[in-house]
Amino acid sequence: MATATPSPKLNHIGLPVLEYRGGKSTLCAGCGHNAISERIIDAMFEMGVQPERVIKMSGIGCSSKSPAYFMSRSHSFNSVHGRMPSVTTGALLGNHTVSALGVSGDGDTASIGVGQFVHLLRRNLPMIYIIEDNGVYGLTKGQFSATADLGSKLKTGVVNDLPAIDTCALAIQLGATFVGRSFSGDKKQLLAMLKAAISHNGTVMLDVISPCVTFNDHEGSTKSYKFLQENDEPINEIGFVPSFEDIEVDYDSGQVYDVEMHDGSNLRLRKLLEDYDPTDKANAVRTLMEAQQNEEVLTGVFYIDTQKPTFIDLLGLVDEPLSTLPESLTRPPKSALEGLMKSLQ
Amino acid sequence: MATGDLALGQEQGASSARQRVINDFSIIVATVNGSGSQSANSVLLKSIFGMGVPVSGKNLFPSNIAGLPTWYTIRASKDDYVARKRDSEVLVSLNPETAREDMLALPSGGVAIYEENFNLKQYRSDVVSYPVPFDKLTAAVCPEAKLRKLVKNMVFVGVVAQLMKIDLDIVENAVRKQFSKKQKVFDLNFGAAKAGYDYAQTTFTKQDPYSIERMDGTVGKIIIDGNAACGMGAVFAGVTVIAWYPITPSTSLIEAATDMLKKFRITSDGKATFAVVQAEDELAAIGMVLGAGWAGARSMTSTSGPGISLMAEFAGLGYFAEIPGVIFDVQRTGPATGMPTRTSQADLLSTAFLSHGDTKHVVLLPGSVSECFDFSLAAFDLTERLQTPVFVLTDLDLGMNNWMSEPFAYPEKPLDRGKVLTADDLNRLGGFARYRDVDGDAIGWRTLPGTNHPKAAYFTRGSGHNDAAQYTEKPEDYIALMERLSRKFESARKLVPGPVTVKDGTSKIGLLAFGTTDFALRESLDQIKSEYGQSVDYMRVRAYPFAHEIHDFVASHERVYVVEQNRDAQLASLLKLDLPGDQVVKLRSILHYNGLPIDALTITEEFATKEGL
């Protein structure tokens, strides 16, 4: 039967969403990570990002496998456990004209990788760093990670008696310039947050609670779908208007916080928490610490700074990628060596 | 007191004068770490060099910022021997803590120049003593008290220069070069050297046999340390990304490279064609190197033993995922922290097999400062050609000491950036498989991130993969990959620097060595010839995997002594894995591993004992 297939919707660079898809996921059905992969695909498609201009970086774990499940047209590097930050740093030094999207997990970030994670934040390396946070080690079958909340319970009944590392508070304190938390089940918030992240120049640190249906979705877990649905408290509602959409934005009506992004897009944060100022670092950290004490899960964009120079800015590099500079620019002339030899005689 | 010393000296002088020793002795300068003796030592070394006499210097320093004893030995050798000499004939004693011990270590007939209140003469009547009131002389030329500690060192340079007959104008040149452009600093330092020179001239009559005479053994030569030479090689190889973590004795390699990058690699609009990042640790340093290498940049790091251990996991990833990157290892002694300021060749096995699983690496083994430069250049071409990490193994002796060399030659060949497909190539080919051996050398073609073509991307992973870079756990895929990596290692065997041989074709005995053992070994060959009338063949290994000539060398000799600076005979062990079974039995070892650079006598004596000479 010959029916005309409707032509697929194209984004503003002329690609269909299909061109942003990846391989078939081998994660468990219902895993929060799959939903995050879907939102990444949507955000990249809607923002019209050229897939070839993106590098997908990851460490080791369930989360770190996920770059295989989106954007097959982008180069990808599944590195070693907890070391994605250094590999990404190197890759961006080699070519600072590409955009880096890193996917990590709570173990990969807050346990084995915490050393590299904190230094990534200090450097404000221009990249999006997503923690697919389920508070548990999946591939090794269900041990606590360092983001598991105090008092949360494993399936086996073991209770976590160590405090959680709040990766968002850490990121704000140490120098990331776009910090937010979302929930894999909140499509709208996560998509808006990712789109804003794409338009930011600096370290974007997004902690996305992503329930593990196999090892950490039971009663007593603080990273379960049920717990999040009941306890997720957004501090702001995220509105995002990309630079290429010709919509007039009327600024500041008191209850919203407007941010002009690096690429000219507009990020509008509608305040749900009274007087919350996402540019006030100390207040952001205090708010998160109080929430932890009160056993609340705050979500939203906690902190943003669009002015701080990135690590690449600080290095004062040439505009072209270092990787493909011609020999004439990278090998000093014969006279340079002769001069050096003379000075050593 | 001083008069008494002189009287004894005169008696000895009468006998010593009959056998003058020209341009063939060692000076040992004993000071306190942090007292600023480095510049003075360097001026003295360069003054002897300026006299045209082949010279080498070695710093024996503690792992400490200030306060512990440190020694600097300078060897002048008309025969061009630059290895450490076991005994030094001339002592300059400025450290009261070690003065007695240093005096007792002198050979009979040696010379002691010391701060007069150390009263060293009482310990040795068979040594020529020159007591000098260093503090008084220093105070006279340096009114500023806080500078005296530093300036005092320059006084000894003057005293030594006068006693050893080094021309004062040569010293003046060396001081000027050391403190280039700072006239005030020059005046102060040269003033101090001159005060020492004048004091020696008016006070002492030369009693000892040692002196420096002008010769033309250094014409056109340069003096440089191996770390600076490696750094220079990297800069002329067009390195663009350096990530590192400070560690003795490799730090100065990065510092030298960084200085040169700032000088030569800033564009006219003030932008950098390089990035140097001090990482948070060696794990991050090697991670950045591999990230950059993956992105297509020429990247490197430099470290020493403990850093190498930390880099192990990433080194395996680099091998398995086939990512370029150059890793310099300036070896110090291990295990563990070991002796951080002492030398060894004990990282050969750990670098060759760094990481778990069946991992092996290309390791280059420079044996001189000029090879530091050349192999550093070669390492960047090899790592991109072979798409695997390449290690350059030097040691503290080569890296941190000053060596004479012919000037380095500017590279004639253009950079070899290896097999990289562009978007145009992909248009032509219609696609590619990252790890497919299309050329028969077991090296695939890669694309760089950012290549503007829908089929450019591939998935880099440390997990099992097929030739299209897809995840696999299939036995046949894994075997195919591992076998190809083995074949790639065979490709490397043909590309790495081959060995260097000294042989006359008559000897049944061969010696094998690598790296800095070469200096002592070449001197030992002469000793074996002059003492025992025996000529021995010698091959210096310059890279792993071993070139086929090394197999031939072993096959063509009855016995082969492998001389190296570690306890476990690491080069011999590595050779045993490579050689056919019937050849393995020919290998014997001569080992030296006390933290000091190997010396010729150690090799000669051990060889003679083992050979029953």
Judge: B297–A93 Cβ closer than 8 Å, yes or no: yes
The CATH number of residue B516's host domain is 3.40.50.920
Judge: A68–B471 Cβ closer than 8 Å, yes or no: yes
pLDDT tens-digit map of B487-498: 999 999 999 999
Q: Which of A64, A83, A117, A314 to mutate to test binding with chain B, by most B CBs within 10 Å of its CB?
A: A83
Question: What is the predicted pLDDT for the residue at B386?
Answer: 98
Last residue of a domain, one of B434, B460, B485: B485
d(CA B354, CA B365): 16
Chain B nearest CA to A196, separation (Å): 22
Last residue of a domain, one of B169, B187, B211: B211
Judge: B220–A97 Cβ closer than 8 Å, yes or no: no
The CATH number of residue B188's host domain is 3.40.920.10
In DSSP notation, B178-232 reads HTTT-HHHHHHHHHHHHHHHHHHHHH----SSEE----STTTT-EEEEHHHHHHH
Q: Is B133 helix (H, G, I), strand (E, B) or coil?
A: coil
d(CA B153, CA B135): 10
In DSSP notation, A255-307 reads SEEEEE-TTS-EEEEEESSTT--TT-HHHHHHHHHHHHHTT-EEEEEEEE-SS
pLDDT tens-digit map of B77-87: 999 999 999 99
Q: Smallest Cβ distance to A98: which of B407, B450, B460?
A: B450
Residues in B touching A319 (Cβ below 8 Å): 271
Asked if B429 and B517 sit in the same domain, the reply is no
Question: What is the predicted pLDDT for the residue at A3?
Answer: 61
Asked if B607 and B585 sit in the same domain, the reply is yes
Q: Is the pLDDT of residue A109 over 60?
A: yes
Question: What is the predicted pLDDT for the residue at A248?
Answer: 65
Question: What is the predicted pLDDT for the residue at A30?
Answer: 93
Asked if B335 and B428 sit in the same domain, the reply is no
Neighbours of B305 (CB within 10 A): 25
Asked if B289 and B337 sit in the same domain, the reply is yes
Q: Smallest Cβ distance to B240: which of A72, A80, A322?
A: A322
Strand partners of residue A99: A54
Judge: A55–B449 Cβ closer than 8 Å, yes or no: yes
Chain A nearest CA to B353, separation (Å): 18
Last residue of a domain, one of B160, B181, B211: B211
Residues in B touching A77 (Cβ below 8 Å): 291, 294, 460-461
Question: What is the predicted pLDDT for the residue at A2?
Answer: 55
Residues in A touching B463 (Cβ below 8 Å): 78
Judge: B275–A329 Cβ closer than 8 Å, yes or no: no
Q: Is residue B417 part of a domain?
A: no
Asked if B205 and B228 sit in the same domain, the reply is no
Range picked from A263-277, B173-187, B287-301 for highest mean pLDDT: B287-301
B425 alpha-carbon distance from chain centroid = 43
pLDDT tens-digit map of A305-332: 999 999 999 999 999 999 999 999 999 9
Asked if B326 and B447 sit in the same domain, the reply is no
Asked if B393 and B435 sit in the same domain, the reply is no
Range of the domain at B593: 500-611
Asked if B28 and B86 sit in the same domain, the reply is yes
Number of domains in chain B: 4
Residues 15-54 of A with CB under 8 A from B: 19, 50-53
The answer to whether A12 and A244 are in contact (CB under 8 A) is: yes
pLDDT tens-digit map of B133-157: 999 999 999 989 888 988 999 999 9
A324 interfaces chain B, CB cutoff of 8 Å: yes
State the sign of the Cα–Cα–Cα–Cα dihedral A217, A223, A228, A230: positive
Half-sphere exposure of residue B325: CA atoms within 13 angstroms, side-chain side: 36
The answer to whether A300 and A235 are in contact (CB under 8 A) is: yes
Instruction: Report the chain A residue with the minimal C-alpha distance to residue B282.
Output: A86
Domains of chain A by range and CATH?
17-325 (3.40.50.970)
Chain A nearest CA to B288, separation (Å): 4
The CATH number of residue B248's host domain is 3.40.50.970
Q: Is residue B19 part of a domain?
A: yes
Residues in A touching B263 (Cβ below 8 Å): 336
Residues 71-130 of A with CB under 8 A from B: 72-80, 83, 85-95, 97-98, 115-116, 119
d(CA B212, CA B166): 6
Asked if B319 and B262 sit in the same domain, the reply is yes
Q: Is residue B60 part of a domain?
A: yes
pLDDT tens-digit map of A62-77: 999 999 999 999 999 9
Torsion (CA) A80, A81, A86, A88 in degrees, nearest 10: 70
Judge: B291–A324 Cβ closer than 8 Å, yes or no: no
Question: What is the predicted pLDDT for the residue at B18?
Answer: 52
Question: What is the predicted pLDDT for the residue at B13?
Answer: 43
Residue B5: pLDDT band with limits 50, 70, 90: very low
Q: What are phi and psi of A225, to 5 degrees?
A: -55, -45
Judge: B277–A321 Cβ closer than 8 Å, yes or no: no
Residues in A touching B451 (Cβ below 8 Å): 52
Q: Is residue B131 part of a domain?
A: yes
Mean pLDDT over the full length of chain B: 95
Judge: B457–A72 Cβ closer than 8 Å, yes or no: yes
Asked if B266 and B356 sit in the same domain, the reply is yes
Asked if B233 and B366 sit in the same domain, the reply is yes
Report whether the peptide linkage leading into residue B411 is cis, meaning its omega lies within 30 degrees of zero: no
